[in-house]
């Protein structure tokens, strides 16, 4: 049997991940599945493919390339979707709600994970996904944490399930809370997991709530950069042995910050920002498809229910804590 060269192995794996990613985009267009991002659908398809069809060994190098290089490029390009003006429009009170919700939820989840006996890396991934921006934050945080693929898949499953629950429950709770359009948008943007879920929930309360919820969520996404950089330093400073030695400081996040700055001071043509948004979605979806293709369900099952309980507790905490902050300082 002929052994493929490394570039050919990478092309093989990235090509297969691309096929699965395309399937995620196609499923996203089907009725009832449009509420789930192509990223989530792609990782689920990848898991099914790996565990039913199987994957060739020669594709593994391409899967790893997609999860590292393509993912980092996607996070850098994400910076072109944000501006400092968007963050400023949230206001000091709104940013305080977002920042405190993020920090409080992250710390709560990590500490509760220790009490429940959830592995430190998995708890940190669930904390990142819940407190920042769902699946994107999980995969970005993992560039510093370097957890197992099964842990990443489990964390993404948690934030998908509970983010979807929030997307349904928040509009139902709105009439009982009397927050007003901006208050509800801020609550949704500060606490619901995925951007698509925030949009779906907040616009049910009208355009004003939807617009403010989306901006609040984008401001929260901007905090991904300092969190991932902080995790990189934390792993280096407090990690164990080989894991700490090989944990990279996620300097690619500086590229994200640089593009946010560029987009804030230069009038980037709409065609460029639209193209960057499309490329970001394609790259992230391909990276998550590759992650699914490397995920063994048997190992996922071995994690048990405790991480799921942690994800539920984190969801309830960020919902309640951010609501309290909105009502007091938002």
Residue 114 has pLDDT above 80, yes or no: yes
Indicate if the pLDDT at residue 237 is higher than 70. no
CB 219 within 8 A of CB 83: no
In whole angstroms, what is the distance from residue 292 CA to residue 100 CA? Answer: 32
Note whether 295 and 153 are within 8 A (CB): yes
Model pLDDT for residues 31-45, shown as the tens digit of each residue: 888 767 787 788 889
| Residue partners of 127: CB distance under 8 A and separation at least 6 | 105, 106, 107, 109, 110, 113, 314
Per-residue pLDDT tens over the stretch 201-224? 888 788 888 878 888 887 888 788
Please state the rounded mean pLDDT for residues 115-141. Answer: 88
70 burial type by CB count under 10 A (0-12 exposed, 13-18 middle, 19+ buried): buried
- 84-94 b/e with 16+ CB inside 10 Å = b? eebbeebeeeb
List the domain boundaries for the chain: 8-328
pLDDT at 148: 81
């Amino acid at each position: 049997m002929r052994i493929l060269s490394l570039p050919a192995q990478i092309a093989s794996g990235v090509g297969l991940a691309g096929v699965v990613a395309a399937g995620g985009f196609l499923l996203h267009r089907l009725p009832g599945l449009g509420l789930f991002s192509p990223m989530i659908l792609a990782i689920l398809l990848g898991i099914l493919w790996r565990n039913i069809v199987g994957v060739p060994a020669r594709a593994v190098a391409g899967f790893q390339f997609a999860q590292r290089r393509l993912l980092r490029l996607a996070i850098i390009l994400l910076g072109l979707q944000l501006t400092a003006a968007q963050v400023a429009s949230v206001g000091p009170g709104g940013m305080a709600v977002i920042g405190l919700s993020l920090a409080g939820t992250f710390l709560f989840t990590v500490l509760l994970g220790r009490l429940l006996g959830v592995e430190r890396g998995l708890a940190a991934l669930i904390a990142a996904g819940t407190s920042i921006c769902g699946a994107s934050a999980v995969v970005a945080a993992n560039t510093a944490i370097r957890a197992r693929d099964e842990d990443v898949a489990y964390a993404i499953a948690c934030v998908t399930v509970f983010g979807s629950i929030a997307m349904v429950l928040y509009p139902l709770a709105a009439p009982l809370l009397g927050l007003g359009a901006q208050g509800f948008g801020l609550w949704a943007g500060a606490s619901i997991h995925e951007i698509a879920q925030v949009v779906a929930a907040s616009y049910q309360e009208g355009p004003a709530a939807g617009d403010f919820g989306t901006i609040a969520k984008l401001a929260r996404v901007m905090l991904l950069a300092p969190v991932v950089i902080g995790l990189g330093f934390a792993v280096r400073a407090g990690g164990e042995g080989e894991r700490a030695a090989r944990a990279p400081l996620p300097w690619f996040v500086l590229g994200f910050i640089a593009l946010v700055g560029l987009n804030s001071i230069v009038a980037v043509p709409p065609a460029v920002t639209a193209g960057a948004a499309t490329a970001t979605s394609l790259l992230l979806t391909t990276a998550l498809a590759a992650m699914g293709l490397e995920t063994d369900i048997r190992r996922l099952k071995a994690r048990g229910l405790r991480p799921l309980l942690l994800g539920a507790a984190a969801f309830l905490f960020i919902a309640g804590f951010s609501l309290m902050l909105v009502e007091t300082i938002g």
